[in-house]
Structure 1
Amino acid sequence: MAEAPEDVQSDECLSSYSHIYSPDLLKDKVAFVTGGGSGIGFRIAEILMRHGCDTVIASRNLEKLAEAAKKLTSATGRHCLPLQMDVRQPETITVAVDEMLKEFGRVDILINNAAGNFLCPATSLSFNGFKTVLEIDTMGTFNTSKVLYEKWFKDHGGSIVNISATLGYRGQALQVHAGSAKAANDAMTKHLAVEWGPSGVRVNTVAPGPISGTEGYRRLGGSFAENAGAFRSIPLQRAGNKTEMAHAVLFLASRAASYVTGATVVADGGAWLTSTNDVERMLGFWSAEKEKGK
């Protein structure tokens, strides 16, 4: 079994960390991380900061962000600025980016991590539910990328890393909303890489598989699948963790990937190649969760 790096299940910083790149890989860089207050986004912010980067973490819940920022600064010694915004509302993004530029005077990296997802059969999915996921995942990625490009990247270059998923690669049960949104983002990565490359902007994607210690893992039945032995079909025989996703982002965001753009790094242990698309099992989990929610 491939050895996983250190991680913790909760939204806490790592108690210890072994650098796989030079600790000053991102020295004096600034990163803007949407959805950075929890889950994968929190760990991405931490790992970038542990490599010399200052960060902005941005989402709708300022109280949660402020708590996360204190943890990140305490653990890494780098500056973390929490900013409230909604990726569905470009005017709030503009205000946040202006505040970031006022504070740091620059931005080098954008991580489009904000997302919304849940399990639901297409026949039970409301029109608004489908629309909301696309607004957050797809429109949110475009909105944030466009604002940062116009405000800074157009004249200074930079690196954008989108957080996607493998849901749309073959059609996943109960995920038509998220799979459609992520498929659109994968196409967006390629289009923006082509258009913005001449400005020195690299645009890439990380597509995670099942990642433990996240809200998505709970909502999408990760523990249920693990207990049912479903992960035995994954070539690496386990779920991934948040640190592994952060390392994939770190590579793409840094000068280690200086000639990489328009690429998607699939970080799922090989799951999309071999895992069964068990509609009956997923419907069973969805029905049980629905009953518990009554």
Structure 2
Amino acid sequence: MADFSLTQKRALVTGASRGIGQALAIALAEAGADVICASSRAGGCDETVAKIAALGTVKAAQLHADLSDMLAVQALADDALALWGGVDILVNNGGTIFRSPATEYPLEAWQNVLQVNLDASFLLCQQLGKSMIEQGSGKIINIASMLSYSGGITVPAYTASKHAIAGLTKALANEWGAKGLQVNAIAPGYIRTDNTQALQDDAQRSSEICARIPAGRWGETDDLKGAVVFLASAASQYINGHVLAVDGGFLAR
């Protein structure tokens, strides 16, 4: 279907070395986009780039940046824009989490989580958004969380950052909607990734989570592929400021 095609579109996906980010990058490529895969270290996206290259139909490249370093994030934005003459799709997926009771939560850990999850996302939105405004079109997709809706346990910084991502998505949609940009977010449910490994390994907590999910299972990273292609494509042209939960029905319980 033509409205879902991403042919000749240029995308940047952060946190694309594995897990959700890798699945999102591959999904965009499968839909026809050329994809810049970004991670925190040089060569971190070798596997993702190889999988995209194996499709044989689109281009893939990789960049790296420490998302807690705003100078590095600015350089990432500049390099991404220069690589193929612009970016049409930005997926802010890169993130981190730190678990500790709130009474013992280190300030340094709090600041790092907010810098990586929120500050870097805002700076990339701002810098690539300027270019998108100039070209009169663009799609920004921020990765939110189930903890954009609830508080969680022992993850106060992550929860604060993901609530903020939902708010930032709406704020930017308000400012940029009339300029041809759509800014939306995906809130993954409980997906099997490194970030949720501690929960998966806790038999009681994992059982409680699955009991609340109407689908009756943990999500897989591929479960998010349709959502990112939809929000990156012309099919979502009249959707703006929306947080799309891909959660197996978790929020409906």
Asked if 2 retains the 8 angstrom alpha-carbon contact of 1:50 and 1:76, the reply is: no
Compared with structure 1, are the counterparts of its residues 22 and 121 closer, same or farther at alpha carbon in structure 2 (3 Å cutoff)?
Answer: farther
The Cα offsets for residues 223-279 of structure 1, whole Å up to 9 and x where unpaired, read as: 4257852212211111111111121111111111010000010111122343xxxxx
Larger radius of gyration: 1
Q: Which runs of 5+ in 2 are unaligned?
A: none
The SS at the match of 1:62 is: coil
Q: Which runs of 5+ in 1 are unaligned?
A: 1-20, 275-294
Amino acid at match of 1:222: Q
1:40 alignment partner, one of 10, 13, 20: 20
1:174 alignment partner, one of 146, 150, 154: 154
Offset, 1:99: 2.9
2:175 alignment counterpart: 195
The SS at the match of 1:142 is: helix
1:1-294 to 2 correspondences below 5 Å: 25-75=5-55, 77-150=57-130, 152-156=131-135, 157-212=137-192, 214-219=193-198, 221-225=199-203, 229-230=207-208, 231-274=210-253
The SS at the match of 2:104 is: coil
TM (norm. structure 1) is: 0.79
Q: Segments of 4+ in structure 1 off by > 6 A?
A: none
Give the number of aligned pairs.
251
Asked if 2 retains the 8 angstrom alpha-carbon contact of 1:45 and 1:55, the reply is: yes
The SS at the match of 1:123 is: helix
Give the whole-Å Cα distance in 2 for the aligned partners of 1:226 and 1:141: 34
Offset, 1:24: 7.1
Asked if 2 retains the 8 angstrom alpha-carbon contact of 1:251 and 1:257, the reply is: yes
Offset, 1:166: 1.5
Asked if 1 retains the 8 angstrom alpha-carbon contact of 2:148 and 2:187, the reply is: no
Over aligned residue pairs, what C-alpha RMSD do you find?
2.0
Give the whole-Å Cα distance in 2 for the aligned partners of 1:76 and 1:216: 31
Asked if 1 retains the 8 angstrom alpha-carbon contact of 2:214 and 2:249, the reply is: yes
The SS at the match of 1:207 is: strand
Compared with structure 1, are the counterparts of its residues 131 and 97 closer, same or farther at alpha carbon in structure 2 (3 Å cutoff)?
Answer: closer
Identity across matched positions, percent: 31
